[in-house]
Amino acid sequence: MPREGSPFKGVGIVALKEAADHMSSARMHLVMLLVLLTAIAAAWGAIDRIRDTTAEDAYLFLKLFTVAREPLPSFAAFLGFLLPLVAISLGFDAVNGEFNRRTMSRLLAQPVYRDAILFGKFLGGLLVIAIALLTLWLLTVGLGILTLGLPPSGADIVRSVFWLIATLFYAGVWLALAISFSTVIRTPATSALAALSVWLILTFFWGMIAPLLASLQPVDPFDPVSIVNQYELQQSIARFSPQTLYSEITGLLLNPSARSVGPLFMHQLQGAVIGAPLPTMESVMIVWPQISCMVAAMLVLFTLAYVVFQRQEVRA
Amino acid sequence: MTTKSGSLLAVTSLVTILLAAVPAGAQEAGTGEALKGFWLTTSYPELAIKPGETHTLSLSLRNENLPPQRASIEVAGVPEGWEWALKGGGKEVSAAMVSPDSTERLSLELTPPQDAATSEAYNIEVKARTATDTVILPLTVRLSGSETASSGLSLDPELPGLRGTSRSTFSFKIKVKNEGAEDGLFNLAASVPAGFNTRFKKGYGSEEITGVPIAAGATETVTMEVIPARNAAAGRYDVGLEVSGNGIAESTQVSLEITGEPQLRLVGPQERLSGEAVAGKETSFAFTVVNAGTAPASGIEMAATPPTGWNVEFDPKELGQLAPNSTAEVNVKITPSEKAVAGDYMVSLRAENDTVSESVQFRTTVRTSTMWGAAGLGIIAAAALILGGAVTRYGRR
């Protein structure tokens, strides 16, 4: 029997309530404290490094995000590493937690559809991550302006905002993954472990698996084209990991002189003005496939969670 | 080389023999290698002077290897009516003291009267009487009647006419001879057409000079460099050189001929040398070829050196004749390679004919095709459609 009205009625209320719950939860506080400390440490390291080499840098402001000082990784690398953790911690018990606390039926007793609950949970998580990201970004920019005493240019701001949006989508992929696991798996601990193991595989082991899979295609040492082919195969396998996509996006958006994510041949660089900055929109265009793949992956994972959730028995 | 030095040796020995054969004359000569004695000499014992003018002869008293000698000087044979004075150190003297191994200089000033007979030769004797003997210096003075026409300076340009383009430097080598009796510092001045520059150098030197000192009777080579105005029209230009100093002046005229030359310039669209193009797509840029030179340029061809895989075409490819100060439009169609990555590339464009070539670097910003952007949007749209489908299928439970 079809029901009346929009399935999205009440999404806003659910999302805001969910966000408020996250904001006041001890889990979120701990995770954010960790992220905040590491991010500030990374930004501080970058500022220290930049101070040594101020005169040589053309894109000083963007270097805040990409320059690292040993042993700390850069700000962007930190986000690529820790954001999945934040997203997983926000989403691993989104659905099965409600069942376990026996609050699902109480929730559904409200005048909202099931659609609204899942959409609201996803958007609420995304909202929290967005707020956290914006805070971190402002904090880093503020630190940079305060300590380096130099205002960012308009192009720098546009580039870093685009990068921030891409970062949000990157976190969204992991949030959608965690919510999917929380819908499919009934125990929160199992779903958390499942999400974490996927994260571990894609973040740490994918870099080893990709060359292994690519080496299945034979290489003729006397044929340079086959070497290039194998490299390209390895690169496309590596791109199944959101981590790879995200680092490619970071590399291009935060480095205006980067021209390509793939291998470049000498004949493509003949006559090229090396080191000249690309127009901002060109940089975005180059990583546009990566960005759209991440957005699509987020949508598909969420759709999976949605379909499974809609078909579940909730009166248990 | 050996033959040359051999002949030099022969000449030297011949001179020695001749010297040995010359008799000692009126004055005592020292014996052997250690020359010893007392002499009274002058550089020019026979000379012609002008009536009514004071002429100075310089006399030298030389004491070689003798004790200090006191010499009383007497001048005999000066004709009636002539004025004369013997001077040493600026004062009138009648005797001189010469230390061993040294020379005393005296000057004899002779002023023949205005109406003196010019044809005769007068014999004047200057005697230097020392304690032991007398040295006599005979002089023969003639009177020259006619005034010489020389102004005292002569200018002789080596190459009075030069030819070159408006970008050349024209170097004139001019020999300046001081024919006057006195050394002097002579100022150099050139008169050139407006916009031309000149500078003077001495001989092959590199210093720029404004004047040159020339000893009496000596010749100096002065280089006058003329740098024409860049926009000087083809034609013949006269350059005057005036040398003045010591109350005398002399000028000469040289000329330079400027041949016209075409000079091409390539001007980009809106005077910019940068533009945007999409990978794999042809973009047209309106270039202007300008002949900024002074002669027509003919048979101009357009050419380009693009990066590999790029295609650059010109419309038209050949320009034919281009008069001075006229322009021609050329459409440059640049097609970046399909595989060109986004960014800036330098494309070298040239306009050239047999004699001139002008090249510019055109900075082309390659934009990636928006095809991938559309494909990315398509992927997102497909994912959104799947979500939408799921919502319509399972929604509102």
Q: What are the sequence ranges of the domains in chain A?
A: 11-265+272-310
CB-CB contact of B167 with B230 (8 Å):
yes
Q: Is B273 on the interface with A (CB under 8 A)?
A: no
Q: Where are the alpha helices (DSSP H) in chain B?
A: 2-21, 371-394
The tokens describing B332, both together, are: 């440059």
Query: Is the pLDDT assigned to residue B397 strictly greater than 70?
Result: no
CATH (domain of B275) = 2.60.40.10
Best of B276, B334, B345, B397 to mutate (most A CBs within 10 Å, chain A): B397
Q: Is B311 on the interface with A (CB under 8 A)?
A: no
Q: Which residue has the higher pLDDT, B371 or A223?
A: A223
Query: Is the pLDDT assigned to residue B14 strictly greater than 60?
Result: no
Interstrand relation of B161-164 and B248-258 (parallel, antiparallel or unpaired): parallel
CB-CB contact of B97 with B68 (8 Å):
yes
Environment class of B312 (CB within 10 Å of its CB; exposed 0-12, middle 13-18, buried 19+): buried
Kindly report the nearest CA distance between residue A123 and chain B, in angstroms: 15
- Pick from A35-44, A163-172, B45-54: least confident: B45-54
pLDDT digits (tens, 9 = 90+) for A5-32: 777 788 888 899 999 998 899 988 998 8
Query: Which residues partner with B83 through β-bridges?
Result: B111
Q: Is residue B136 part of a domain?
A: yes
Check whether residue B250 and residue B269 sit in a common domain.
no
- pLDDT of B286: 92
Kindly report the nearest CA distance between residue A113 and chain B, in angstroms: 6
Query: Is the pLDDT assigned to residue A175 strictly greater than 90?
Result: yes
Check whether residue B77 and residue B104 sit in a common domain.
yes
Query: Is the pLDDT assigned to residue B111 strictly greater than 90?
Result: no
SS3 category, A165: helix
pLDDT digits (tens, 9 = 90+) for A89-140: 999 988 888 888 888 888 888 888 888 889 999 999 999 999 999 999 998 8
Mean pLDDT, to the nearest integer, of B90-118? Answer: 84
Check whether residue B336 and residue B357 sit in a common domain.
yes
The answer to whether the Cβ–Cβ distance between B367 and A296 falls below 8 Å is no
Q: Which residue in B153, B148, B157 sits closest to B179, CA to CA?
A: B153
**pLDDT band, residue B20 (cuts 50/70/90):** very low
Q: Is B365 on the interface with A (CB under 8 A)?
A: yes
**pLDDT band, residue A176 (cuts 50/70/90):** very high
Which residue of chain A comes nearest to B378, CA vs CA?
A: A292
- Pick from B66-70, B115-119, B361-365: least confident: B115-119
CB-CB contact of B73 with B106 (8 Å):
yes
What does the alpha-carbon distance between residue A269 and residue B309 come to, in Å, rounded to a whole number?
A: 11
For residue B162, what are the contacts with CB-CB under 8 A and spacing of at least 6? B170, B171, B172, B254, B255, B256, B257
pLDDT digits (tens, 9 = 90+) for A60-79: 788 888 888 777 888 888 88
Query: Is the pLDDT assigned to residue A307 strictly greater than 60?
Result: yes
Q: Is B340 on the interface with A (CB under 8 A)?
A: yes
What does the alpha-carbon distance between residue B331 and residue B289 come to, in Å, rounded to a whole number?
A: 10
- For residue B341, the 8-state DSSP code is P
Check whether residue B138 and residue B157 sit in a common domain.
no
Check whether residue B44 and residue B118 sit in a common domain.
yes
Q: Is the peptide bond before A211 cis (omega within 30 degrees of 0)?
A: no
Which residue of chain A comes nearest to B390, CA vs CA?
A: A307
User: At which of B258, B273, B296 does a domain end?
Assistant: B258
- pLDDT of A2: 58
- Pick from A36-40, A195-199, B46-50, B335-339: least confident: B46-50
Which residue of chain A comes nearest to B394, CA vs CA?
A: A310
The answer to whether the Cβ–Cβ distance between B387 and A279 falls below 8 Å is no
- pLDDT of A51: 79
Check whether residue B203 and residue B283 sit in a common domain.
no
Mean pLDDT, to the nearest integer, of B161-166? Answer: 87
Query: Is the pLDDT assigned to residue B260 strictly greater than 90?
Result: no
Check whether residue B50 and residue B139 sit in a common domain.
yes
Check whether residue B217 and residue B307 sit in a common domain.
no
- pLDDT of A57: 67
Kindly report the nearest CA distance between residue A170 and chain B, in angstroms: 14
B-chain CB neighbours of A253 within 8 Å are: none
- pLDDT of A81: 87
B-chain CB neighbours of A311 within 8 Å are: 394
User: Percentage of chain B surpassing pLDDT 70?
Assistant: 89
**pLDDT band, residue B33 (cuts 50/70/90):** low
The tokens describing B325, both together, are: 């100060």
Other beta carbons within 10 angstroms of residue B7's beta carbon come to 10
Residue with tokens 């003949």: A270
Mean pLDDT, to the nearest integer, of B315-341? Answer: 87
For residue B155, what are the contacts with CB-CB under 8 A and spacing of at least 6? B174, B175, B176, B177, B241, B243, B250, B251, B252
Q: Which residue has the higher pLDDT, B190 or B233?
A: B190
Nearest to A295 among B363, B380, B390 (CB): B380
CB-CB contact of A146 with A51 (8 Å):
no
Ramachandran assignment for A149, one of left (phi > 0), alpha (psi -120 to 50 degrees), beta (any other) = left
- Residue B87's φ and ψ, nearest 5 degrees, are -125, 145
Mean pLDDT, to the nearest integer, of A277-296? Answer: 88
Mean pLDDT, to the nearest integer, of A282-311? Answer: 91
Q: Is B373 on the interface with A (CB under 8 A)?
A: yes
- pLDDT of A134: 92
The answer to whether the Cβ–Cβ distance between A268 and B341 falls below 8 Å is yes
**pLDDT band, residue B325 (cuts 50/70/90):** confident
Q: Which residue in A28, A147, A150 sits closest to A91, CA to CA?
A: A28
Which residue of chain B comes nearest to A108, CA vs CA?
A: B397
Q: Which residue has the higher pLDDT, B241 or B36?
A: B241
Amino acid at A200: L
Check whether residue B104 and residue B30 sit in a common domain.
yes
Rounded (5°) CA angle B107-B113-B119: 95
Starting at the edge strand found earlier in the chain, the sheet holding B153-157 runs B153-157, B170-178, B219-227, B197-202, B208-209
A-chain CB neighbours of B373 within 8 Å are: 285, 288
CA distances from residue A214 to A139, A221, A263, A293, B239 in whole angstroms, order as listed = 41, 15, 16, 21, 82
CB-CB contact of B26 with B138 (8 Å):
yes
What does the alpha-carbon distance between residue A193 and residue A199 come to, in Å, rounded to a whole number?
A: 10
- pLDDT of A249: 92
CB-CB contact of B71 with B127 (8 Å):
no
CB pairs under 8 A between A and B: 115
- pLDDT of B32: 54
Q: Is residue B375 part of a domain?
A: no
Query: Is the pLDDT assigned to residue A159 strictly greater than 50?
Result: yes
Kindly report the nearest CA distance between residue A31 and chain B, in angstroms: 31
Mean pLDDT, to the nearest integer, of B144-157? Answer: 69
- Checking ipTM against 0.85, whether it exceeds it is no
Query: Is the pLDDT assigned to residue A268 strictly greater than 80?
Result: no
CB-CB contact of A213 with A230 (8 Å):
no
Q: Which residue in B331, B332, B330 sits closest to B311, CA to CA?
A: B332
- pLDDT of B15: 44
Check whether residue B66 and residue B122 sit in a common domain.
yes
Q: Is residue B9 part of a domain?
A: no
Residue with tokens 């990583």: A287
Q: Look up the domain containing B278 and give its range.
A: 264-367
Distance of CA B222 to the CA centre of its chain: 7
Mean pLDDT, to the nearest integer, of B161-169? Answer: 87
B-chain CB neighbours of A115 within 8 Å are: 391, 395-397
Q: Is B287 on the interface with A (CB under 8 A)?
A: no
Kindly report the nearest CA distance between residue A39 and chain B, in angstroms: 31
Torsion of CA A291, A234, A270, B342, to 10 degrees: -10
**pLDDT band, residue A54 (cuts 50/70/90):** low
Check whether residue B225 and residue B319 sit in a common domain.
no
The answer to whether the Cβ–Cβ distance between A286 and B368 falls below 8 Å is yes
**pLDDT band, residue A312 (cuts 50/70/90):** confident
The tokens describing B33, both together, are: 């290698």
Query: Is the pLDDT assigned to residue A212 strictly greater than 70?
Result: yes
The answer to whether the Cβ–Cβ distance between B342 and A5 falls below 8 Å is no
B-chain CB neighbours of A300 within 8 Å are: 383, 386
User: Percentage of chain B surpassing pLDDT 90?
Assistant: 16
Domain count, chain B: 3
Q: Mean pLDDT over all residues of chain B?
A: 82
CB-CB contact of A171 with A126 (8 Å):
yes
Q: How far apart are the first and last CA of chain A?
A: 21
pTM: 0.64
- pLDDT of A161: 92
Q: Is residue B126 part of a domain?
A: yes
